[in-house]
Structure 1
Amino acid sequence: MFSGAQISLYPMSDDFVRIILDAVQALDPYRDRFRIETDDVSTLIVGPPEDLFPAMRDVFVRAAHSGVHCVLSAAVSRGCPGEPDDPICTPISGAGNALPLAERIEAACAHVADAAFTGQHVAAQFSLYPLGEGHHMDEIYGCIDFLKSSGVFDCSKNFCTKLGGDAGAVFATLSEAFLRFGDARGHVALDITVSANSPSKRA
């Protein structure tokens, strides 16, 4: 299986170079588990699906702790048939995708409740795409039911769902949506935007 994320970090500051380079150091503990490639648009992280969101959380929280308005944009994918299998991408472990939706929702909520507290409030919006054949709308509706019980649900918007809360719980919620909904061996993609310290929120 192939799993990874293309991430771009945008600190709204003249000091953006230092903030980005400092934030990327948060990937250091994950480097033995990831293949990481950076160009002038984004950074690709390829590795075990359950490690993708903790890594993105750590990068974003480190940047957001600068106090400036920061945005993370990410395209996350697992099981893409157009990508070759990569031995660094271990199969999903313990997500229980074969369980009934109700049991997956309950387990996902329990994982979010146990998420580490970071002290950094964030807002996020994302869309889930379980691709391929099958009852994909059942999976989407099940994920929405989970989101509404996650403790970080804000509102439904056109084309996406908005979350808000501590970064630990928000990124855990995104991770659970990625791991538990859609075929465990199928192609699932998420489109994510996360924001912190927004002047619009303060206004």
Structure 2
Amino acid sequence: MFSGAQVSLYPMSDDFVGIIFGAIGALDPWRDHLRIQTDSLSTLIVGSPEFVFPAMRDLFCAAAYSGVHTTMHATVSRGCPGEPDDPICSPVSSPRREMALADRVAAYREIVAAAPQLEQDIAAQFSLYPLGVGHHMDEIYGCIEFLKSSGTFDRSKNFCTALRGDAGPVFETLGQAFTGFGSEAGHLAMDVTVSANSPSVR
């Protein structure tokens, strides 16, 4: 299975170059677990989702800690039939996948509750797309149930779900939504936008 993310970071600052390069340095501790390539458009992060989401979290927080309005957009995918298997991408496997949907929701909620607090408030919105699954709506409804009880749920929006809270639990919610729903062996994609230090009134 192939899994990873294309990530683009946007600090709203005259010093955007320094902030971006400094934030990319936050990926260094993850390089033993991930294949990371940066170009002029985005940073490709390839590996197990269990490492991809914490790496994205650290990248974003490193920029957001500057205090400037910062956004990040990521397209995350696993199991794409157009991509070859990569040894660095272990299949998403968890004994919880054998549990009933309601039990999985409860288990993922406990994982989010135990996530570290990183002292950075963020907002996020995302859409999840389980592809090629016969009963994909059951998985989507299960994911929505999980999100509403996750402690990071903000509101439902057209075409997406909004989250808000500390970066630790929010990124853990995104990771559990990505790995916990949809076919274990099927293609699944997520579109996510994250924001911190926005001047907009909530």
TM-score class normalised by the smaller sequence: over 0.9
Between 1:27-36 and 1:160-169, the stretch displaced more is 27-36
In 1, Cα distance between equivalents of 2:60 and 2:121: 11
Number of the residue aligned with 1:132: 132
Cα RMSD after superposing both structures: 1.0
Question: Which residue number in structure 2 is paired with residue 200 of structure 1?
Answer: 200
Pairwise CA distance, 1:94: 2.7
Do the aligned partners of 2:125 and 2:160 also contact (CA within 8 Å) in 1? yes
Which residue identity is paired with 1:20? I
Equivalent position SS for 2:4: strand
* Contact kept in structure 1, 2:133 and 2:183, CA below 8 Å: no
Gaps of 5+ in 1: none
Query: 1:4-41, CA deviations, whole angstroms, 9 ceiling, x for partnerless residues?
Result: 00000000000000000000111101101111111111
Q: Provide the residue aligned with 2:57 in structure 1.
A: 57
Contact in 2 for aligned 1:68/1:197 (Cα 8 Å)? yes
Name the stretch that deviates more: 105-114 or 30-39.
30-39
Task: Give the partner amino acid of 2:79.
Answer: G
The equivalent residue for 2:25 is 25
Distance (Å, rounded) in 2 between the aligned partners of 1:200 and 1:135? 39
Structure 2: gaps (5+ residues): none
Residues 133 and 186 in structure 2, CA contact (< 8 A), matched pair in contact too:
no
Give the counterpart letter for 2:75 in structure 1.
A
- Identify the residue that residue 41 of structure 1 maps to in structure 2: 41
How far off its partner does 1:98 sit?
A: 3.0
TM-score by length of structure 2 reads 0.98
Counterpart of 1:25, as a letter, is G
Q: So what's the TM-score if we normalise by structure 1? A: 0.97
Q: Does structure 1 residue 171 correspond to structure 2 residue 171? A: yes
Contact 2:133 2:182 in 1 (8 A): no
What fraction of aligned residue pairs are identical, expressed as a percent? 67
Deviation, 1:144, is 0.2
The equivalent of 2:111 in structure 1 is: 111
Paired residue for 1:144?
144
Q: Is contact 1:97-1:183 (8 Å) kept? A: no
Runs (4+) off by over 4 Å:
none
AA in 1 matched with 2:160: C
Aligned residues: 202
